[in-house]
Amino acid sequence: MSNLIKLLPDAVANQIAAGEVVQRPASVVKELLENAIDAGATEIQLIIKDAGKTLIQTIDNGCGMSETDARMCFERHATSKINETNDLFNLRTKGFRGEAMASIAAVAQVEMKTRLVEDEIGVKINIEGSSIKAQEPVQTSCGTTFSVKNLFFNVPARRNFLKSNPVEMKHIIDEFERVALTHPEIYFKLTSNGNSLFDLPIGSLRQRIIGVFGKNFNKKLVPIDEKTTIVNITGFIGKPEFSRKTRGEQFFFVNKRFIKSGYLHYAIMKAYEDLIPKQTYPSYFIYMEVEPSTIDINIHPTKTEIKFEDERSIYAIINSAVKQSIGKHQMAPSLDFEAETSFNVDPVKAGDEIKMPQIRVNENFNPFETKEKSGGSNGRITKKDSTFELPKCDVDQQQALTSLYHDNNLITITDEDEEEDDQQAIVEVDVTRKIFQLHSRYIFSQIKSGYILIDQHKAHERILYEQFLETLGAKKATSQQQLFPVKLEFSSSDFAILTEIWDEVKLIGFDIEKFGNTAIAVNGVPADLRQTDIPGLFDKIIEQFKNNRDELKLDTTDSIARAMARSMAIKAGKKLSENEMTLLTDQLFACESPYFAPNGKKTIVTVTLDELEKLFN
Ligand SMILES: Nc1ncnc2c1ncn2[C@@H]1O[C@H](COP(=O)(O)OP(=O)(O)OP(=O)(O)O)[C@@H](O)[C@H]1O
Ligand SMILES: [Mg+2]
C-alpha cells in the first residue's frame, strides 16, 4: 500500500493555524494594535471600512523594520520578542509567538509599508494568501503602516460566517477600547467609514476612561490602590449606585494586557454584595502588576486568559481593595434603591418574612360625611387606639383582606409606618371609589366575582410594547416637536448601538439627527411620551436593547419594542389619577395579550370572592 501521509503545503497549513489567531476583523485589529505598541509607538491610528471586512489599517510611529525583518515578519514563528524558552516567563511585550502576521497574511490581502528611523527610504511588501506579490522601496514616514484588505477573501466559508457590520464593528470597538484603556500614554484614533469614532489624546488614566466612555463617567469613578508583595493594584471602580444591568464596563489588566477572569470578577462582585441590586453589575477598571514569572499567558490563543501562580491570594487582595475603596469614599449611604427605576423592584420575595400592616378601625366612619367634617387631611380617618392585626398570610391575601374591610366601610388604612419598613403591605384607600391605587404601584379594581390587581408598570409595558410593534410594522408614528432640541452625548460604543437601532428609534416617533461624532440632537419625541428625562430615557433604551439582544437573543424589532416599552412605561411609585387608572385598565384589556408583560410576568392578579371566603376558614 502506498504512503498516504504527506506534508501540507505551507499556505494550507498557515490557513489552518490562522483559524486560532484570526477569527474575525476584531482579531486582526487586536494583533495590529499590539504590534504597534510593542514597536514603541506613541501615536497609533486605526482606520476601518465596512466593519473591517474591506479594510483594517493601522498607522504607527514605532520603530519600524529593516528590509529583511519586513520580509521575515510574515514567516511563522518569526519574532523579535523572545529568543529562548526562558523569555516566555519574563514577558514584557504583548507578542511572543511570532504567529500573528503569518496568520493574517494567510487569509487576507496585506500591504505593509515600514521604515526605520535611521533609513531614508522604507520598504513596501504586498502579500496575499501567504504568497509575496510585490516588494519595493517606498517613501514613507518612519514607523509601520499595515493595510489588511478583504479578510478571508480565500476562505469563503469564514467570510460568510462574519456577522452583520454593526456586530463586527462592536467587536472592533471592544478590542480598541481594551488597548486604549491599557495605554493612556499613547495617542489613539479610530476612524470608521470616514467618521472619527475615537480621538484619544495622551493623558491620565481617568482622562482616558472618560475619553472612551464619555464625560458622564467622571462622577462614577472611585480610585483603587493597593500595593502588596504579590500584586500591585491600581485603577478605578464604579460607585455602587451606577451599577447597570448589563455587564459592560468591566476590565482587568495584568501587566498591561487585557484579561478575562470569572474568578476575579467574582471577587469584585462579592465586595459589592448587598450594596447593589441583584443582577446588576458595577463598572471596574482594575490594573494589576505582577512579577512576569508568576503568570502563564500562553494558555490561550488569544492571550486573554492567564494562569496566576497564586490566584487565591490575588482574589483576596482584590476583594479587600475594592471593599476599602467603597468604604473610603463612603458610597454606601448615598444608595437609594427606590429611586433607581431601571430595574424591577419586587418588595416581597418568596420566603421573606412579611410584616402585617397596621389596620385601624374607624368606629365613627360615616360615608355621607364630607372630607372636611371627617377631620382627616386627605380623606383618611384613623383612630390610633383601636388597632388590630391581620392574621399571618401572604401579601395577596393581605390585600384581599384589607380591600374587603374597606368595601364594607369598616376601615381606612394609613401609611404612617412607610419609612420604618418598606416591606409592609401598605394600602392607600379612597373610600369613594371602586378603582384605586395601592402603594402607588398596583391598580385595584372591583369586579363582579371579586377583584383584580393590576401591576401598573408591567401593564403599561405591555400596552406600549404592542403599540410599538404595531408602529414599527406600519411605519407611521407621530412625533411631537420639542421647543428646544436636546443635545445628547454618548460613549462610542453606546453610539454604535444607537446607530444600529437608529431607523427604529425614528420610526417610533423620535425626531433625531446626528450631531458630531457621538452626539445627537433630539428635535421631537413620540406624541404620547410622558417622560421628560430624555437623556435618561436614551441611556435606558440602549441599555435594555443591549440586554435583550445579548442575553435574550431577540430580533432587532422585538428588542427595540421591548427596550422602549420597558424604558418608557410608568414606574412603580407613580401616583395615578382615577382617569389615568381607568385609561390604563381599558388599554390593557384592549391588548392582544393583556395578562402578561413582554417578559412573561403577570400583569394582572385576580382574586375571586370564593378565594376570599376561604381565607376566613
Ligand atoms: N508595527 C510593527 N512595527 C515594528 N515591528 C513589527 C510591527 N509589527 C510586527 N513587527 C515585527 O514582526 C514580528 C512578527 O510579528 P507577529 O505579530 O507575527 O509576532 P509577535 O508579535 O512577535 O508575536 P505574536 O504572534 O504573539 O503577536 C514582530 O516580532 C516584530 O518584530
Ligand atoms: Mg504580534
- Tell me the average pLDDT across 362-381: 36
* Element containing residue 199 per DSSP (H, E): strand 195-200
Contacts 24+ apart (CB under 8 A), 562-566: 562/465, 562/598, 562/599, 564/464, 564/468, 564/505, 564/508, 565/460, 565/461, 565/462, 565/464, 565/465, 565/468, 565/598, 566/461, 566/540, 566/598
Residues with CB under 5 A from ligand 2 (ion): 35, 95, 100
φ, ψ dihedrals at 522, nearest 5°: -100, 110
Whether pLDDT at 324 is above 80: yes
Ligand 1 nearest-atom number relative to CA 21: 25
Asked if pLDDT for residue 403 goes beyond 60, the answer is no
381: Cβ contacts below 8 Å, ≥ 6 apart = 362, 364, 365, 374, 375, 412
Taking 90 as the threshold, does the pLDDT of residue 531 lie above it?
no
Quote the percentage of the chain above a pLDDT of 90: 35
pLDDT digit string (tens) for 48-82?
A: 999 999 999 999 999 999 999 999 999 887 787 66
Q: pLDDT: is 15 or 383 the higher one?
A: 15
Instruction: Give me the domains of the chain, ranges plus CATH numbers.
Output: 10-203 (3.30.565.10), 206-334 (3.30.230.10), 336-425 (no CATH), 433-617 (3.30.1370.100)
pLDDT classification of 376: cutoffs 50, 70, 90: very low
Grid coordinates of 354:
412579611
Locate 407 and state its grid cell.
368595601
Dihedral (CA of 213, 218, 222, 223) sign: positive
Residue type present at position 81: K
Of 2-11, 150-159, 230-239, 350-359, which gets the smallest average pLDDT? 350-359
The closest ligand to the CA of 96 turns out to be 1
Q: How far apart are CA 401 and CA 406, in angstroms?
A: 9
Confidence grade of residue 17 (pLDDT, cut at 50, 70, 90) = low
Helices (H) and strands (E) counted in the chain, each on its own, are 18, 25
Nearest of 121, 175, 185, 109 to residue 147 by alpha carbon:
109
Q: Which ligand is nearest to the CA of 303?
A: 1
pTM of this structure: 0.60
**pLDDT band for position 363 (cuts 50, 70, 90):** very low
pLDDT digits (tens, 9 = 90+) for 561-585: 888 888 888 888 888 888 888 888 8
Q: Which of helix, strand or coil describes residue 420?
A: coil
Question: Is a pLDDT exceeding 70 seen at residue 543?
Answer: yes
Q: Are 3 and 150 in contact (CB under 8 A)?
A: no
Ligand 1: residues within 6 Å at CB?
31, 35-36, 38-39, 60, 62-65, 73, 78-81, 95-102, 144
Contact assessment for residue 515 and residue 521, using Cβ atoms and an 8 Å cutoff: yes
Residue 497 has pLDDT above 60, yes or no: yes
Pocket test for ligand 1, best of 67, 101, 257 (most atoms within 8 A of CB): 101
- pLDDT category of residue 88 using cuts at 50, 70 and 90: low
Q: Give 268 or 160, the one with higher predicted confidence.
A: 268
Mean pLDDT of all residues belonging to the chain: 78
Mean pLDDT of 124-132: 95
Which range is least confidently modeled, 12-21, 150-159, 361-370? 361-370
Q: How far is the CA of 125 from the centre of ligand 2 (A)?
A: 17
Residue 565 CB partners (closer than 8 Å, separation 6+):
460, 461, 462, 464, 465, 468, 598
Pairing of β 307-308 and β 295-296:
antiparallel
Cell numbers representing residue 245 in the block: 444591568
CA distances (Å), origin 370, targets 102, 168, 192, 412, 489 = 88, 67, 69, 15, 53
Q: What is the pLDDT of residue 507?
A: 84
Q: What is the DSSP letter of 574?
A: -
pLDDT, greater one: 231 or 350:
231
